[in-house]
Amino acid sequence: MKPLYEKDSAIPDKKKIVFLGDSITDDGMFIAYMDAYFLQHMPTNQITLINLGVSSETASGLSEPEHPFPRPCVHDRLGKALAESNPDWVVVCYGMNDGIYYPYSADRFEAYRQGILRAVDVIKQAGAKVILITPPPFDTASFTGGSLLPADQPAYSYAEPFAEYEDVLKRYADWVLTLEDVADALVSIHEPMLREWERKRKTNQQYVTGDGIHPNAEGHWLIAANLLRVLFNITLEQTPEYVLQPDKSALFTAVQQRHRLLSSAWKEHVGHTNPNKAEAQPLELALKEGEALASLIHTLAALPENKNKSHVSSWKGYERVDFILEGREGLIIFPKKFAVGRPWIWRAEFFDAFAYADMALLEQGWAIAYYRISNMYGCPGAVERMRTFQTYVTGAYELASKTVLFGFSRGGLYAFNYAAKYPDQVKLLYLDAPVLDMRSWPGGKGEGSGGPAEWEECLAVYGEIEDTSALKGSSPLERVEELAAGGIPVLIVAGDADIPLPIAENTLPFEKRYRELGGTIKLIVKPGVGHHPHSLEQPEPILAFIRQYAE
Q: What is the per-residue pLDDT across 225-248, written as a single tens digit (0 to 9) for each?
A: 999 999 999 999 999 989 989 888
Give me the pLDDT at residue 470, please.
61
Give me the pLDDT at residue 280, please.
93
Predicted confidence (pLDDT) per residue in 137-163, tens digit: 999 999 998 899 999 999 999 999 999
Question: What's the CA dihedral at 402, 404, 408, 411 to 10 degrees?
Answer: 0
Q: Is the dihedral of CA 455, 225, 16, 306 positive or negative?
A: negative
Domain residue ranges of the chain, discontinuous segments joined by +: 7-301, 310-550
pTM of the model: 0.94
Give me the pLDDT at residue 468, please.
60
CA 284 to chain centre: 34
Residues 6+ apart with CB under 8 A from 137: 166, 169, 170, 190, 193, 194, 197
Predicted confidence (pLDDT) per residue in 309-355, tens digit: 889 999 999 999 999 999 999 999 999 999 999 999 999 999 999 99
- Which residue stretches of the chain have pLDDT < 50? none
How deeply is 109 buried, as exposed, middle or buried, from its count of CB atoms within 10 A (0-12, 13-18, 19+)?
A: middle
Nearest to 504 by CA among 493, 515, 496: 496
Give me the pLDDT at residue 466, please.
66
Give me the pLDDT at residue 473, please.
81
Give me the pLDDT at residue 44, please.
92
- In CATH terms, 310-550 corresponds, of 3.50.50.60, 3.40.1190.20, 3.20.20.70, 3.40.50.1820, to 3.40.50.1820
Strand order in the sheet with 426-432: 310-315, 318-325, 328-334, 367-371, 344-347, 403-408, 426-432, 490-495, 521-526
Give me the pLDDT at residue 524, please.
98
Give me the pLDDT at residue 366, please.
98
- Domain formed by 7-301, architecture: 3-Layer(aba) Sandwich (3.40)
Helix (H) or strand (E) segment spanning residue 404: strand 403-408
Give me the pLDDT at residue 247, please.
87
The conformation of residue 135, written as its DSSP 8-state character, comes to: P
